[in-house]
Chains A and B, each alone.
Chain A
Amino acid sequence: MKIFSELYGTYFRIITHVLSEHSMTESELRKLIAEEGFGETGLFLDKKLIPQEDGSDWGLLSRDKAGVLHPVTVIEPPKVLTTLQKRWLRTQLDDPRAWLFLDDRELALLWERLGEIPPLYSAEDMRCPDRYSDGDPYTDPVYRRNFRMVLKALKAEELICIRFISRYGKVIEGDFLPCKLEYSKKDDKFRVHCTSVRHGTSVINLARVEEVSKSSSKAKPAALDESTLRCSEPLEITVKNERGADERFLMEFAAYEKRTERSEEGTVKVRLWYDRNDETELLIRLLGYGPTLEITGPLHMRAKARERVMRQFGLMMNKGEQ
């Protein structure tokens, strides 16, 4: 069983698409290859699919008198799921998050179809020691119902009424347009990004949602503008080549959009873009690097780091006010 195989490759997928069409002009074929292929796919694949006078093509298409191309095959290439794909699907059935997407009938059907196939791995084979322990209750019927209503509205681009408890303990109710569902691997939680005429852009933790119902409002809020959540200027950081901090930092913050530059002295200067909602999380993670990392800008972030360090130094010197 292979995972790196031409069976899943872009070229085989393009050919499947081409052979599924009854007929195609050369320009349609070239367009399809340009759209579905890699940057340079057309340079090679065009001439292997289009019949060539010297017979150097793959013989998968023939040309009629009008110059139109037709597959030499009779039937559309079958879309068979491989063992890898079936085992992967089977693996997900053991995950409680699968319950969010499937109703009882769908779950039973998938078990019937895939139950005897061994999963690729079991939950016990994997461990995430630093995942937070208060993840969402995926099998809770209320959570499951709310999730499905949010997902349905998200796909249909429909307003829904959401009642939830804010992180300050306040009950909020309003009409929201769900725009994306975000899952955090660290928090083990789902959040829905919404827009609302009254509340603007909101990010709601699904586990804090008490009820989701249909909305009678006709007012359409503006589309989600993620740039409003983005930092106005990137964090500027210098990471020292000490205790492997540079390597550790680059791996840890690989999930962020960033630019890096190594100086002649061996330090790495980083500019990192983030969502403003994540500012505190970022700050404390950066402080975790101790003196091997310095926040050099912007000033308000450096000031926040400095304030915490001063407070800590004060606690150590027994002169803190706490």
Chain B
Amino acid sequence: MAGFSELIKNFDKTRDYVRDFFIYGYKVRGDFNKKSARTYDDEKRRVESWLGEHLVYDDSVRGKQVAISVDSAHITENPLYQAFYTRSFTENDVRMHFLTLDILCDGEEHTAGELCSLLGEAFGFSPEEQTLRLKLKEYAEEGIVLSRKQGKSVLYRLSPDLAENILDSEGMYDMVKFFSEAAVFGVAGNSILRLTEQKNEHFCIKHNYIVHVLEDEVMLIITEAMAQHRLLTVGSFKNDVTHNVLPMQVITSVQTGRRFLAAYSPGGDKYMTFRLDYMPRPKAGAVFDNYDEIKTRYDELCARSFGVSFAETKDVEPLVIVIYADEVKEQYIIDRLKREKRCGTLEKTGENEFTLTLDICDPTEAMKWVKTFIGRIKRLEGGTESLRKRFYSDIKRMYEMYGGDDDEDIQ
């Protein structure tokens, strides 16, 4: 495929561009300076080809901006799945795939040598036996064919797990349609729908960070390592530092969209978190022997973690937030406190007064949520002194920002 191709061999570079178009939307050609301008033009052209209608252009003072603009609550299919359907292949790949499967539809077992002969006889196509053997090995790993050894030979046959043999009811397809948008690795579910010519038309997902799909290759390595208790070498696009860690959990904030790998670092004997969107594909290493003990310690730390921080803040006290809520007219505020609180207790401490006590290792993490109660916070106690000072200073700055007693725009 000489010249420009809308297909790609490697997802890493594309992942970066699609994310930038989707998250930022304000970047202009000159901002993409990590690679050449030609690379930018090619990547943009590919994204245009894959996502068409979802790409928008705006002229700003800094130049022409490209953005992917989607309201994810109003769509029934994540458009970024398209980016996963763009893997390039060779002429040999495509011919071997369709012609070999055609022969294997006879339901019989064949060696790679036999298949080579049959391909030649039926289609005049003669791949190298070794090339075909490698392809069949790959297909056995992907579950398309089954293989077994007989003496020195390896026999291959088509997997009997046709979509129609596994999914044969409307309810099953409804399940696939819903989870293809709502679950991790939804692109796998979407690929089943496309294979079987089905489409989700009824389910929409709110508070959905569709951009997470771009991290699915990374996630797959992480989940496999978690299942096998393997160490991982993880890095970051932001710097050249790598860490050798034991993965514990993937932590997803459904409110901020950030996703982290929580992991134990045997070198530093500490627990760390790593942003998935900054992470290149990690490398799996050896199995870690002492997993259970490390996981028990991790679970204990989670009980005092408001989000993703596990480090104990110096001189920290439980954070106490005293909230005003009219018990008769504002039950919804009390309901909010009950369902949104984490790692803490809620008590009624006076007439129309509720006190939330959060015993957490890093109270700074809670402050963004605490500020969603602005207008109702009677007192803020505990935590750390610097945290309290910043809160009061923030309110003062907001008071000034919104015009103090005389916002000209509003008066």
Residue positions of A touching B, CB distance < 8 A? 1-13, 15-16, 19, 38-41, 44, 58-60, 72-75, 77-86, 88-89, 91-92, 95, 97-98, 100-103, 106, 109-110, 113-114, 118, 120-122, 124-134, 151, 154-155, 167, 180-187, 226, 248, 250-252, 254-262, 264, 268, 273, 275, 284-285, 287-291, 294, 299, 302-303, 305-313, 315-316, 322
Contact = CB atoms under 8 A, between A and B. Distances in A.
Interface in B392-411: 392, 394-399, 401-403, 405, 407, 409-410
B207 to A, nearest CB: 4
Contacts of B405: 310
A1 B26 CA distance: 36
A46 B393 CA distance: 64
B33 interface: no
A5 B74 CA distance: 29
Contacts of B165: 113
A40 B49 contact: yes
A257 B144 CA distance: 40
A226 B226 contact: no
Given A15-B94, A257-B70, A290 B397 contact: yes
Contact of B142 (A1, A118, A303, A313): A1
Nearest to A295: B402
B217 A110 contact: no
Contacts of A151: 174, 202
A233 to B, nearest CB: 15
Interface of B: 1, 5-7, 11, 22-26, 45, 48-50, 52, 56, 58, 60-62, 65, 67, 69-74, 82, 84-89, 91, 93-95, 97-99, 101-102, 104-105, 123-125, 141-144, 158-159, 161-169, 171-172, 174-176, 178-179, 182-185, 187-189, 191-192, 194-196, 202-211, 216-217, 220, 223-224, 226-227, 249-258, 262, 277, 302, 305-308, 324, 332, 335, 338-340, 342, 352, 368-369, 371-378, 392, 394-399, 401-403, 405, 407, 409-410
B395 A252 contact: no
B207 A284 contact: no
B372 A290 contact: no
Contacts of A290: 368, 371, 394, 397-398
| Most chain A beta-carbon contacts within 10 A, residue among B61, B94, B189, B249 | B94
20 contacts: A7-B142, A10-B85, A79-B195, A83-B143, A84-B143, A89-B176, A121-B226, A127-B262, A132-B340, A182-B73, A185-B254, A248-B256, A252-B255, A255-B206, A259-B58, A287-B398, A288-B368, A289-B368, A306-B407, A312-B377
Nearest to B258: A251
Contacts of A110: 166, 172
Contacts of B394: 290-291
